[in-house]
Amino acid sequence: MSVPRRPYVMLVVLFLLVIGCSAGAVQTSDPAAPRGAAGSEGSAAPPRSVEPLRSPAVIPGLGPRTRAQIPATARQAVVVTGKGPDANLSSVVLHSLDDPALGWRPGAGPWPAHNGMEGWTDHHVAGDLRSPVGVFGLTDAGGRLPDPGALLPYDEQSRFAVSGEGFLGEPLEGSFDYVVAINYNRTPGTSPLDRERPLGEERGGGIWIHVDHDGPTQGCVSLTEDRMRELLLTLDPAKNPVIVMGDAASLAR
């Protein structure tokens, strides 16, 4: 006698339904999602690297106190670094700030230079034969020779002529053929020859960048004639140029 087949068929159908529900329960991601995506089969994509933010570049060798003295409007800086507090040899580099996001960049130099016979001081007085340490504006130029194309106001005067000998017996003639006045104890916007001394005569004055005579100065900074000409063609009053000057240890503060 044959066994009815209906109960067996019902058991098979029920088993298939259970298996189908279980398979659907373990599907946790979109089947159409690409392999390697989060939650799908395969490893996750590696994280993207993030480049660290860079601070704007600062002028090398200058400490926080010196940097704080540079006006926020300055876009050119002539940096004169003395070899020592009592040395009269120094090095000059012209820096520019064309993009504040990038910071200061060297543009010309290093150029060899001379400074005061006895070195540097943070309290210059007349006759001490030392160059003043600090940050000073550069607003006016002049010289015995015709204007080479200076961007700063240029005063051509025969009174820039000089004669005699320097500390090493070297001739001084031609030293003031080109000059840039350093705004130490002077009135900006006047000829380098102007004699007004806002701090008083005892604090000295007439501190310039001028043509080198192969020897130390009485307090000025001196460069070779070709470098002076280059400086005059580069310093731009629209960029509010300054000079940062002193021995290395003082500038690092």
Q: Which of 95, 114, 124, 220 is an active site residue?
A: 220
Strand order in the sheet with 154-156: 134-137, 242-247, 76-82, 89-99, 103-114, 221-223, 208-211, 179-181, 141-143, 154-156
CB 180 within 8 A of CB 232: yes
Q: Is 54 left (phi over 0), alpha (psi -120 to 50) or beta?
A: beta
Task: State the alpha helices, DSSP H only, in 89-242.
Answer: 225-234
Q: In angstroms, how far is CA 100 from the centroid of its own chain?
A: 10
3-state SS class at 67: helix
Longest dimension (CA), the chain: 144
Is 124 annotated as catalytic? no
Give the residue carrying structure tokens 């003082």.
250
Residue matched to tokens 């604090």: 203
Among this protein's residues, is 210 annotated catalytic?
A: yes
Count CA within 13 A, CB hemisphere, residue 75: 11
Residue among 205, 183, 153 at smallest CA distance from 78: 183
Question: Considering 95, 124, 210, 213, which one is annotated as catalytic?
Answer: 210
Q: Is 105 helix (H, G, I), strand (E, B) or coil?
A: strand
Cβ of 212: how many Cβ atoms within 10 Å?
22
Q: What is the set of active-site residues? A: 210, 220
